[in-house]
Amino acid sequence: MIKPDFSQPLPAHLDSAHFVGIGGSGMSGIARLFVEAGHRVTGSDRSENHNTEALRELGAVVSIGHDAANLGDAQVLVYTGALWPDNPEYLAAVERGIPVVHRSQALAWLIDKRRLIAVAGAHGKTTSTGMIITALLELGHDPSFVNGGVIQSLGVSAATGSGEIFVVEADESDGSFLFYDTAVALITNVDADHLDHYGSHEAFDDAFVEFASKATELVVVSSDDLGAVRVNGRLLGARVITFGESASADVRVRSVSTEGNVALTIDWQGASYDAQLRVPGHHNALNAAGAFAVLVGLGFEPRAALNGIAIFGGTERRFELHGTVRGVRVYDDYAHHPTEVAAALSAARSVVGSGRIIAIHQPHLYSRTQLMAADFAATYEHLADHTIVLDVYGAREDPVQGVTGELVSERFVDRSRVDYLPDWQQAADRAAAIARDGDLIMTLSCGDVYRIIPQVLASLDAVRVS
């Protein structure tokens, strides 16, 4: 992979840009904003998806497969941390002296001097960002934004607004979230991840301290997450608002009910505010509190801010229902870390009633699977009724000998509650065979596991027919 090099600036006058990996959740949003700003956009990805289709409809030229010819006459090449140094488009750009910039640089160039709200954390970023955006729109503001997932009520993950506020989901995975000139920083949690980049838990904490310290107006940080508490303890001179269920939180969450969608009470500056969210799961009560803290910290009226947050209806790939066959609901979720998996399965438990949860887990990254296999197994065994484990989605990493999905399945204490099935059709058939009326099947990963859902639905239907 190519490590970010922030020394190459974007041209002062930019007509055209080429995006390698343009179909990704973050890259597609940035590419959309470049199109909306009037720039000529080209890009490539290894496969089609709804993002590539949407960008073509906007006027971008998108190629499937990577080839030096795709670069055309672009003035800059934009890349993600998943770019390999042998990529032909990258090599062509280097040979021709075209600036090669990380996506965070391209986004910072778009943000320019607008008032930036940057949302960071190992989990909860996409939902928290979506809540802030939804509330700002409801409050009569028109922010620009780039989120890591499509906001269902808006149908997009990014848009150019007329207001002064710009909201972004800031990616900590490769340290690029430190590149922004942030006004308001929201830290949902500091649960160590991406140690392949940072090398240690201490370095991960250090990055979040630097991120928060750069915020010029406000830092909003969890009072419940131990990593966030560590980071908060190191902030000097910053204006900080804490949020969580802790009695010491400035924005305190209490009386949380997770029967169906979430009901909660928020205490702030001596007053209490009740709300019912449109998204399930205890973790979303905390995401709402973080978004609320950002908005009241910016001076918005508390009741109106919470009402705006409550309208948020979710993002794609976050507890997203894809269909129901013979009484079995099939959901997809982006969860790819044990903490995220626990939150997603807990949300599923709150809606499944007396039914059972059948999880289909696609391990993401060889390094994460090797490091956290036991944690994944314990989480699934505790919170799901049955788990089917696929093979590893390597993303930016090369395969590691001996690291497969079986590392997770073999760590189950009760092996009767898990299947390791690398063949997707076998996995879909097994899930359908187990499931009965009232059950819930959920795919979990930030890889391409959502592509198995049509097979699962077809297998459920075939069982009904037979």
Residues that are catalytic:
125-126, 169
Residue 82's closest CA among 50, 40, 44? Answer: 44
Alpha-carbon dihedral of residues 308, 314, 316, 318, nearest 10 degrees? Answer: 140
Contact assessment for residue 445 and residue 380, using Cβ atoms and an 8 Å cutoff: no
Rounded Cα gap, residues 349 and 368, in angstroms: 25
The token pair that represents 325 in the structure block: 């066959």
Contact assessment for residue 205 and residue 230, using Cβ atoms and an 8 Å cutoff: yes
Kind of pairing between the strands at 357-361 and 100-102: unpaired
Residue 166's closest CA among 138, 141, 189? Answer: 141
Give the H/E segment covering residue 30. Answer: helix 25-36
Which residues contact residue 97 at a Cβ distance below 8 angstroms, ignoring those fewer than 6 apart? Answer: none
Rounded Cα gap, residues 79 and 21, in angstroms: 7
Task: For 202-239, give the DSSP string.
Answer: HHHHHHHHHHHHT-SSEEEEESS-HHHHHHHTT--S--
The token pair that represents 458 in the structure block: 């077809």
